[in-house]
Amino acid sequence: MQTKMKAFLTEELQKLETQKLFKHERIIESPQGAEIIVKGKKCLNFCANNYLGLSSHPDLIKASHDAIDSRGYGLSSVRFICGTQDIHKELEKKLSAFLGMEDTILFSSCFDANGAVFEPLLGENDAIISDALNHASIIDGVRLCKAQRWAYKHGDMRDIEEVDSATDKKAKGLERCLKEAQGCRFRMIATDGSFSMDGDIAKLKEICDLADKYDAIVMVDDSHSSGFLGKTGRGTHEYRGVMGRVDIITTTFGKALGGASGGCISSSKEIINWMRNKARPYLFSNTVPPAVVGATIKVIDILTASTNLRDKLEKNTIYFRKKMTDAGFDIVAGDHPIVPIMFGKYPDCSKLAVDFANKMLEEGVYVIAFSFPVVAKGKDRIRVQISAGHDMAQIDKAIAAFTKVGKELGMIK
Ligand SMILES: *Cc1c(COP(=O)(O)O)cnc(C)c1O
Protein backbone atom coordinates (compact mmCIF):
# COMPACT_ATOMS: atom_id res chain seq x y z
CA MET A 1 0.00 0.00 0.00
CA GLN A 2 1.31 3.40 -0.89
CA THR A 3 -0.77 5.41 1.61
CA LYS A 4 2.24 6.48 3.67
CA MET A 5 4.38 7.19 0.64
CA LYS A 6 1.63 9.27 -1.00
CA ALA A 7 1.29 11.42 2.11
CA PHE A 8 5.05 11.90 2.19
CA LEU A 9 5.23 12.82 -1.50
CA THR A 10 2.28 15.22 -1.29
CA GLU A 11 4.17 17.15 1.37
CA GLU A 12 7.49 17.07 -0.52
CA LEU A 13 5.83 18.16 -3.77
CA GLN A 14 4.19 21.04 -1.92
CA LYS A 15 7.63 22.08 -0.68
CA LEU A 16 8.95 22.09 -4.24
CA GLU A 17 6.05 24.34 -5.27
CA THR A 18 6.70 26.72 -2.37
CA GLN A 19 10.40 26.90 -3.24
CA LYS A 20 9.47 27.44 -6.91
CA LEU A 21 11.44 24.31 -7.83
CA PHE A 22 8.54 22.26 -9.19
CA LYS A 23 9.14 21.49 -12.83
CA HIS A 24 6.09 22.52 -14.86
CA GLU A 25 5.88 21.33 -18.44
CA ARG A 26 4.89 23.79 -21.15
CA ILE A 27 2.71 22.03 -23.70
CA ILE A 28 3.62 22.49 -27.36
CA GLU A 29 0.87 21.89 -29.91
CA SER A 30 3.01 21.84 -33.05
CA PRO A 31 6.13 20.15 -34.41
CA GLN A 32 9.44 21.30 -32.90
CA GLY A 33 10.97 24.18 -34.84
CA ALA A 34 12.00 27.83 -34.88
CA GLU A 35 8.32 28.69 -34.59
CA ILE A 36 6.08 26.63 -32.33
CA ILE A 37 2.55 26.85 -30.96
CA VAL A 38 2.13 27.12 -27.19
CA LYS A 39 -1.39 27.48 -25.73
CA GLY A 40 -2.76 28.17 -29.18
CA LYS A 41 -0.30 31.03 -29.69
CA LYS A 42 2.59 31.13 -32.12
CA CYS A 43 5.98 31.92 -30.62
CA LEU A 44 9.62 31.74 -31.58
CA ASN A 45 11.53 28.98 -29.84
CA PHE A 46 14.93 30.03 -28.50
CA CYS A 47 15.44 27.25 -25.94
CA ALA A 48 15.63 23.99 -27.89
CA ASN A 49 18.75 21.91 -28.55
CA ASN A 50 17.66 22.01 -32.18
CA TYR A 51 21.00 23.56 -33.16
CA LEU A 52 20.88 22.69 -36.84
CA GLY A 53 17.12 23.11 -37.24
CA LEU A 54 16.72 19.45 -38.21
CA SER A 55 14.01 18.39 -35.71
CA SER A 56 11.23 18.68 -38.25
CA HIS A 57 13.28 18.88 -41.45
CA PRO A 58 11.33 17.43 -44.43
CA ASP A 59 14.30 15.31 -45.62
CA LEU A 60 14.54 13.65 -42.20
CA ILE A 61 10.81 13.05 -41.99
CA LYS A 62 10.94 11.43 -45.42
CA ALA A 63 13.98 9.31 -44.52
CA SER A 64 12.20 8.23 -41.37
CA HIS A 65 9.05 7.27 -43.28
CA ASP A 66 11.15 5.38 -45.84
CA ALA A 67 12.91 3.43 -43.08
CA ILE A 68 9.57 2.45 -41.54
CA ASP A 69 8.30 1.35 -44.96
CA SER A 70 11.39 -0.70 -45.79
CA ARG A 71 12.50 -1.96 -42.34
CA GLY A 72 9.36 -1.80 -40.20
CA TYR A 73 8.41 -0.17 -36.93
CA GLY A 74 10.31 -2.13 -34.30
CA LEU A 75 12.71 -5.04 -33.92
CA SER A 76 11.33 -6.65 -30.75
CA SER A 77 14.85 -7.64 -29.83
CA VAL A 78 18.16 -6.52 -28.45
CA ARG A 79 20.90 -6.10 -31.05
CA PHE A 80 22.75 -9.41 -30.65
CA ILE A 81 19.70 -11.70 -30.75
CA CYS A 82 17.75 -10.50 -33.79
CA GLY A 83 17.80 -6.69 -33.58
CA THR A 84 20.56 -5.71 -35.99
CA GLN A 85 19.60 -4.60 -39.49
CA ASP A 86 21.78 -3.46 -42.35
CA ILE A 87 20.80 0.13 -41.57
CA HIS A 88 22.16 -0.12 -38.01
CA LYS A 89 25.54 -1.19 -39.41
CA GLU A 90 25.37 1.55 -42.06
CA LEU A 91 24.71 4.22 -39.43
CA GLU A 92 27.54 2.96 -37.21
CA LYS A 93 29.91 3.10 -40.16
CA LYS A 94 28.84 6.60 -41.16
CA LEU A 95 29.10 7.91 -37.60
CA SER A 96 32.62 6.47 -37.29
CA ALA A 97 33.70 8.26 -40.46
CA PHE A 98 31.99 11.51 -39.42
CA LEU A 99 33.53 11.55 -35.95
CA GLY A 100 36.91 10.33 -37.21
CA MET A 101 36.92 7.16 -35.10
CA GLU A 102 37.39 3.46 -35.95
CA ASP A 103 34.05 2.05 -34.87
CA THR A 104 30.75 3.03 -33.26
CA ILE A 105 28.05 1.33 -31.22
CA LEU A 106 24.46 2.63 -31.02
CA PHE A 107 22.38 3.11 -27.89
CA SER A 108 18.80 4.23 -27.24
CA SER A 109 20.16 7.47 -25.79
CA CYS A 110 23.40 9.15 -24.81
CA PHE A 111 22.27 8.68 -21.23
CA ASP A 112 22.50 4.94 -21.93
CA ALA A 113 25.83 5.32 -23.75
CA ASN A 114 27.29 7.05 -20.68
CA GLY A 115 25.71 4.44 -18.44
CA ALA A 116 27.42 1.80 -20.57
CA VAL A 117 30.88 3.12 -21.23
CA PHE A 118 32.73 3.10 -17.88
CA GLU A 119 31.81 -0.14 -16.15
CA PRO A 120 33.19 -2.60 -18.74
CA LEU A 121 36.53 -0.76 -19.02
CA LEU A 122 37.43 0.28 -15.49
CA GLY A 123 37.70 -1.78 -12.31
CA GLU A 124 38.77 -1.11 -8.76
CA ASN A 125 42.44 -0.74 -9.69
CA ASP A 126 41.63 1.99 -12.20
CA ALA A 127 40.95 5.71 -11.98
CA ILE A 128 38.22 7.88 -13.42
CA ILE A 129 38.95 11.59 -13.34
CA SER A 130 35.91 13.70 -14.06
CA ASP A 131 35.23 17.42 -14.58
CA ALA A 132 33.15 18.65 -11.64
CA LEU A 133 30.44 20.02 -13.96
CA ASN A 134 29.96 16.90 -16.08
CA HIS A 135 26.47 15.90 -17.19
CA ALA A 136 24.28 13.82 -14.87
CA SER A 137 24.56 10.79 -17.16
CA ILE A 138 28.37 10.75 -16.83
CA ILE A 139 28.04 11.02 -13.07
CA ASP A 140 25.60 8.08 -13.05
CA GLY A 141 27.78 6.05 -15.42
CA VAL A 142 30.77 6.59 -13.16
CA ARG A 143 28.69 5.45 -10.17
CA LEU A 144 28.07 2.14 -11.92
CA CYS A 145 31.76 1.31 -12.20
CA LYS A 146 34.11 0.27 -9.43
CA ALA A 147 36.97 2.57 -10.41
CA GLN A 148 38.52 4.98 -7.92
CA ARG A 149 37.16 8.48 -8.48
CA TRP A 150 38.63 11.92 -8.75
CA ALA A 151 36.79 15.13 -9.66
CA TYR A 152 38.70 18.18 -10.84
CA LYS A 153 37.47 21.74 -10.54
CA HIS A 154 35.61 22.67 -13.68
CA GLY A 155 38.09 23.39 -16.47
CA ASP A 156 41.04 23.62 -14.07
CA MET A 157 44.10 21.97 -15.64
CA ARG A 158 46.60 22.81 -12.89
CA ASP A 159 48.69 20.70 -10.53
CA ILE A 160 47.09 22.34 -7.54
CA GLU A 161 44.72 21.87 -4.61
CA GLU A 162 43.14 24.97 -3.11
CA VAL A 163 39.95 26.26 -1.53
CA ASP A 164 37.44 27.11 -4.25
CA SER A 165 35.94 30.51 -3.38
CA ALA A 166 32.64 29.56 -5.07
CA THR A 167 32.04 26.51 -2.85
CA ASP A 168 34.41 27.10 0.11
CA LYS A 169 35.57 23.53 -0.41
CA LYS A 170 38.98 22.22 -1.36
CA ALA A 171 39.25 21.48 -5.08
CA LYS A 172 41.96 19.96 -7.26
CA GLY A 173 43.10 20.66 -10.77
CA LEU A 174 43.29 17.91 -13.39
CA GLU A 175 47.07 17.51 -13.30
CA ARG A 176 47.00 17.05 -9.52
CA CYS A 177 44.37 14.31 -9.91
CA LEU A 178 46.42 12.59 -12.62
CA LYS A 179 49.49 12.63 -10.37
CA GLU A 180 47.55 11.15 -7.48
CA ALA A 181 46.18 8.40 -9.75
CA GLN A 182 49.59 7.27 -11.05
CA GLY A 183 49.41 4.08 -8.98
CA CYS A 184 46.34 2.89 -10.87
CA ARG A 185 46.36 0.48 -13.84
CA PHE A 186 44.30 2.67 -16.22
CA ARG A 187 43.37 6.35 -15.90
CA MET A 188 40.43 7.85 -17.79
CA ILE A 189 39.67 11.57 -18.01
CA ALA A 190 35.96 12.21 -18.66
CA THR A 191 34.56 15.56 -19.76
CA ASP A 192 31.62 17.14 -21.52
CA GLY A 193 32.78 18.64 -24.83
CA SER A 194 30.57 21.71 -24.33
CA PHE A 195 28.99 22.56 -20.98
CA SER A 196 25.31 23.30 -21.17
CA MET A 197 24.95 26.15 -18.67
CA ASP A 198 27.71 28.52 -19.83
CA GLY A 199 28.26 27.11 -23.32
CA ASP A 200 31.97 26.90 -22.53
CA ILE A 201 34.04 24.38 -24.44
CA ALA A 202 36.40 21.87 -22.80
CA LYS A 203 40.13 22.62 -23.16
CA LEU A 204 40.75 19.42 -25.08
CA LYS A 205 44.22 20.40 -26.27
CA GLU A 206 45.46 20.76 -22.68
CA ILE A 207 43.51 17.67 -21.61
CA CYS A 208 45.04 15.54 -24.38
CA ASP A 209 48.53 16.87 -23.56
CA LEU A 210 48.08 15.93 -19.90
CA ALA A 211 46.68 12.54 -20.94
CA ASP A 212 49.86 11.92 -22.94
CA LYS A 213 52.07 13.05 -20.08
CA TYR A 214 50.33 10.88 -17.46
CA ASP A 215 49.28 7.95 -19.68
CA ALA A 216 45.53 8.47 -19.51
CA ILE A 217 42.56 7.77 -21.81
CA VAL A 218 40.37 10.73 -22.84
CA MET A 219 36.58 10.36 -22.97
CA VAL A 220 34.45 13.25 -24.29
CA ASP A 221 30.66 13.53 -24.24
CA ASP A 222 29.99 15.70 -27.26
CA SER A 223 26.19 15.89 -26.99
CA HIS A 224 26.15 19.70 -27.14
CA SER A 225 28.76 19.83 -29.94
CA SER A 226 28.37 17.00 -32.47
CA GLY A 227 27.20 18.26 -35.84
CA PHE A 228 28.25 21.90 -35.55
CA LEU A 229 31.41 22.63 -33.52
CA GLY A 230 34.58 22.77 -35.60
CA LYS A 231 35.01 23.83 -39.23
CA THR A 232 33.11 20.81 -40.57
CA GLY A 233 30.92 20.21 -37.53
CA ARG A 234 32.63 17.07 -36.25
CA GLY A 235 32.64 18.35 -32.68
CA THR A 236 34.86 19.62 -29.90
CA HIS A 237 37.85 17.57 -31.01
CA GLU A 238 37.77 19.31 -34.38
CA TYR A 239 37.16 22.73 -32.77
CA ARG A 240 40.19 22.24 -30.51
CA GLY A 241 42.39 20.68 -33.19
CA VAL A 242 42.74 17.29 -31.49
CA MET A 243 40.96 14.93 -33.90
CA GLY A 244 42.62 11.52 -33.56
CA ARG A 245 43.73 12.24 -29.99
CA VAL A 246 40.42 11.68 -28.17
CA ASP A 247 40.01 8.00 -27.29
CA ILE A 248 36.26 7.77 -26.70
CA ILE A 249 33.40 9.99 -27.84
CA THR A 250 29.83 9.60 -26.65
CA THR A 251 27.09 11.68 -28.20
CA THR A 252 23.34 12.03 -28.69
CA PHE A 253 21.10 12.10 -31.76
CA GLY A 254 18.61 13.99 -29.61
CA LYS A 255 20.12 17.44 -30.09
CA ALA A 256 21.77 18.76 -33.28
CA LEU A 257 21.70 15.37 -35.03
CA GLY A 258 17.96 15.27 -35.62
CA GLY A 259 16.52 15.74 -32.16
CA ALA A 260 14.53 12.52 -31.77
CA SER A 261 16.53 10.10 -29.65
CA GLY A 262 19.44 7.70 -29.73
CA GLY A 263 23.11 7.97 -28.97
CA CYS A 264 26.41 6.22 -29.45
CA ILE A 265 29.91 5.47 -28.28
CA SER A 266 32.64 5.94 -30.89
CA SER A 267 36.18 4.69 -30.31
CA SER A 268 38.83 2.16 -31.33
CA LYS A 269 37.60 -1.17 -32.71
CA GLU A 270 38.85 -2.95 -29.58
CA ILE A 271 36.87 -0.74 -27.19
CA ILE A 272 33.73 -0.94 -29.34
CA ASN A 273 33.99 -4.72 -29.68
CA TRP A 274 34.36 -4.94 -25.91
CA MET A 275 31.21 -2.79 -25.55
CA ARG A 276 29.28 -5.10 -27.90
CA ASN A 277 30.12 -7.93 -25.51
CA LYS A 278 29.95 -6.24 -22.13
CA ALA A 279 27.95 -3.00 -22.16
CA ARG A 280 24.79 -3.70 -20.18
CA PRO A 281 22.42 -1.12 -21.78
CA TYR A 282 23.45 -2.65 -25.13
CA LEU A 283 23.00 -6.26 -24.08
CA PHE A 284 19.78 -5.84 -22.13
CA SER A 285 17.85 -3.03 -23.85
CA ASN A 286 16.04 -2.90 -27.17
CA THR A 287 17.63 -1.88 -30.45
CA VAL A 288 17.19 1.65 -31.84
CA PRO A 289 14.07 1.69 -34.09
CA PRO A 290 14.40 1.96 -37.90
CA ALA A 291 12.60 5.33 -37.99
CA VAL A 292 15.40 6.88 -35.92
CA VAL A 293 18.20 5.00 -37.66
CA GLY A 294 17.00 5.97 -41.14
CA ALA A 295 16.68 9.64 -40.23
CA THR A 296 20.05 9.76 -38.47
CA ILE A 297 21.75 8.27 -41.54
CA LYS A 298 20.16 11.13 -43.49
CA VAL A 299 21.52 13.66 -40.97
CA ILE A 300 25.08 12.36 -41.35
CA ASP A 301 24.71 12.40 -45.14
CA ILE A 302 23.49 16.03 -45.06
CA LEU A 303 26.31 17.13 -42.75
CA THR A 304 28.98 15.25 -44.71
CA ALA A 305 27.84 16.69 -48.06
CA SER A 306 27.93 20.32 -46.97
CA THR A 307 28.78 22.60 -44.06
CA ASN A 308 25.88 24.96 -44.88
CA LEU A 309 23.90 24.26 -41.72
CA ARG A 310 26.75 24.61 -39.24
CA ASP A 311 27.95 27.70 -41.15
CA LYS A 312 24.51 29.27 -40.85
CA LEU A 313 24.40 28.40 -37.15
CA GLU A 314 27.80 30.03 -36.67
CA LYS A 315 26.68 33.15 -38.53
CA ASN A 316 23.44 33.37 -36.52
CA THR A 317 25.34 32.91 -33.26
CA ILE A 318 27.94 35.61 -33.98
CA TYR A 319 25.17 38.01 -35.06
CA PHE A 320 23.02 37.41 -31.97
CA ARG A 321 25.94 37.62 -29.55
CA LYS A 322 27.15 40.90 -31.07
CA LYS A 323 23.73 42.57 -31.21
CA MET A 324 22.89 41.58 -27.63
CA THR A 325 26.24 42.82 -26.36
CA ASP A 326 25.76 46.09 -28.27
CA ALA A 327 22.31 46.43 -26.70
CA GLY A 328 23.99 46.41 -23.29
CA PHE A 329 23.29 42.89 -22.05
CA ASP A 330 25.80 40.98 -19.96
CA ILE A 331 26.62 37.84 -21.96
CA VAL A 332 29.06 35.03 -21.21
CA ALA A 333 31.57 35.42 -24.03
CA GLY A 334 32.29 32.52 -26.36
CA ASP A 335 31.52 30.83 -29.68
CA HIS A 336 28.79 28.43 -28.65
CA PRO A 337 25.13 28.79 -29.76
CA ILE A 338 24.28 28.48 -26.07
CA VAL A 339 24.17 32.19 -25.11
CA PRO A 340 23.71 32.89 -21.39
CA ILE A 341 22.28 36.35 -20.64
CA MET A 342 23.42 37.10 -17.09
CA PHE A 343 21.32 38.85 -14.42
CA GLY A 344 23.71 38.75 -11.44
CA LYS A 345 24.61 42.43 -11.49
CA TYR A 346 20.99 43.57 -11.03
CA PRO A 347 19.08 43.71 -7.73
CA ASP A 348 16.80 40.74 -6.97
CA CYS A 349 18.26 38.92 -9.97
CA SER A 350 16.46 35.57 -9.53
CA LYS A 351 13.03 37.15 -9.70
CA LEU A 352 14.16 39.50 -12.45
CA ALA A 353 15.27 36.60 -14.68
CA VAL A 354 11.97 34.74 -14.21
CA ASP A 355 9.90 37.91 -14.82
CA PHE A 356 12.00 38.62 -17.88
CA ALA A 357 11.38 35.17 -19.39
CA ASN A 358 7.62 35.50 -18.75
CA LYS A 359 7.54 38.89 -20.46
CA MET A 360 9.48 37.46 -23.38
CA LEU A 361 6.76 34.86 -23.90
CA GLU A 362 4.19 37.68 -23.98
CA GLU A 363 6.35 39.16 -26.75
CA GLY A 364 6.19 35.83 -28.59
CA VAL A 365 9.69 34.59 -27.75
CA TYR A 366 10.12 31.41 -25.74
CA VAL A 367 13.26 31.45 -23.53
CA ILE A 368 14.01 29.89 -20.14
CA ALA A 369 15.33 31.42 -16.92
CA PHE A 370 17.69 29.46 -14.68
CA SER A 371 17.97 30.59 -11.10
CA PHE A 372 19.55 29.43 -7.87
CA PRO A 373 19.85 26.53 -6.96
CA VAL A 374 20.04 25.25 -10.57
CA VAL A 375 22.92 27.71 -11.07
CA ALA A 376 25.11 29.31 -8.38
CA LYS A 377 23.84 32.34 -6.45
CA GLY A 378 24.28 35.48 -8.53
CA LYS A 379 24.63 33.44 -11.72
CA ASP A 380 20.94 33.71 -12.58
CA ARG A 381 20.43 33.81 -16.29
CA ILE A 382 18.28 33.38 -19.33
CA ARG A 383 19.81 30.75 -21.55
CA VAL A 384 19.24 31.38 -25.23
CA GLN A 385 19.98 28.67 -27.77
CA ILE A 386 20.51 29.77 -31.34
CA SER A 387 19.61 27.49 -34.25
CA ALA A 388 20.37 27.27 -37.96
CA GLY A 389 16.59 26.96 -38.22
CA HIS A 390 16.19 30.61 -37.19
CA ASP A 391 16.14 33.10 -40.03
CA MET A 392 17.48 36.64 -39.63
CA ALA A 393 14.01 38.17 -39.19
CA GLN A 394 13.33 35.77 -36.30
CA ILE A 395 16.65 36.56 -34.63
CA ASP A 396 16.01 40.29 -35.06
CA LYS A 397 12.57 39.82 -33.51
CA ALA A 398 14.13 38.10 -30.50
CA ILE A 399 16.73 40.86 -30.09
CA ALA A 400 13.98 43.52 -30.35
CA ALA A 401 11.94 41.70 -27.69
CA PHE A 402 14.98 41.40 -25.38
CA THR A 403 15.70 45.11 -25.84
CA LYS A 404 12.08 46.13 -25.18
CA VAL A 405 11.76 43.99 -22.04
CA GLY A 406 15.26 44.98 -20.89
CA LYS A 407 14.25 48.65 -21.04
CA GLU A 408 10.90 48.02 -19.32
CA LEU A 409 12.67 46.27 -16.47
CA GLY A 410 15.36 48.95 -16.24
CA MET A 411 18.25 46.68 -17.18
CA ILE A 412 19.43 48.57 -20.23
CA LYS A 413 19.04 52.13 -21.48
C1 LIG B 1 21.61 15.83 -23.49
C2 LIG B 1 22.82 15.20 -22.95
C3 LIG B 1 22.86 13.82 -22.68
C4 LIG B 1 21.65 12.95 -22.80
O5 LIG B 1 21.38 12.62 -24.12
P6 LIG B 1 20.11 11.72 -24.44
O7 LIG B 1 20.42 11.11 -25.74
O8 LIG B 1 18.93 12.64 -24.44
O9 LIG B 1 20.01 10.71 -23.35
C10 LIG B 1 24.06 13.28 -22.27
N11 LIG B 1 25.16 14.04 -22.09
C12 LIG B 1 25.14 15.37 -22.31
C13 LIG B 1 26.39 16.17 -22.11
C14 LIG B 1 23.97 15.98 -22.74
O15 LIG B 1 23.96 17.30 -22.95
Across the 413 residues of the chain, what is the mean pLDDT of every consecutive 10-residue run? 96 92 91 96 97 98 98 98 98 98 98 98 98 97 98 97 88 98 98 97 98 98 98 98 98 98 98 98 98 98 98 98 97 97 93 94 95 87 98 98 97 91
Looking at residue 28, what DSSP letter applies? Answer: B
314 lines ligand 1 (CB under 6 A): no
C-alpha atoms less than 13 angstroms from C-alpha of 403 in its C-beta half-sphere: 14
Of ligand 1's atoms, which has the minimum distance to the CA of residue 253? 7
pLDDT at site 376:
86
Residue 94 designated active-site: no
Candidates 255, 257, 288: which one to mutate for ligand 1, based on the most atoms within 8 Å of Cβ?
Answer: 255
Residue 267 designated active-site: no
Report the distance separating Cα 142 and Cα 106, nearest Å.
19
pLDDT at site 167:
80
pLDDT at site 102:
98
Ranges of CATH 3.90.1150.10 domains, the chain: 20-51+307-408
Question: pTM for the complete prediction?
Answer: 0.97
Residue 224 designated active-site: yes
pLDDT at site 288:
98
Of ligand 1's atoms, which has the minimum distance to the CA of residue 112? 9
CB 311, CB 319: distance < 8 Å: no
The set of residues, in sequence order, having a beta carbon less than 8 Å from that of 273 and lying 6+ positions away, is 103
Candidates 137, 195, 225, 236: which one to mutate for ligand 1, based on the most atoms within 8 Å of Cβ?
Answer: 137
Q: Which residue from 239, 256, 240 is spatially nearest to 110, judged by alpha carbons?
A: 256
387 lines ligand 1 (CB under 6 A): no
Pick the catalytic residue from 255, 298, 379, 390: 255
CATH superfamily of the 20-51+307-408 domain: Aspartate Aminotransferase, domain 1 (3.90.1150.10)
Ranges of CATH 3.40.640.10 domains, the chain: 76-303
Query: For the chain, percent helix, then strand, then coil, each to nearest 5?
Result: 40, 15, 40
Angle between helices 86-99 and 290-305 in degrees, nearest 10:
30
CATH of 76-303, one of 3.40.640.10, 3.30.2130.10, 3.30.470.20, 3.30.830.10: 3.40.640.10
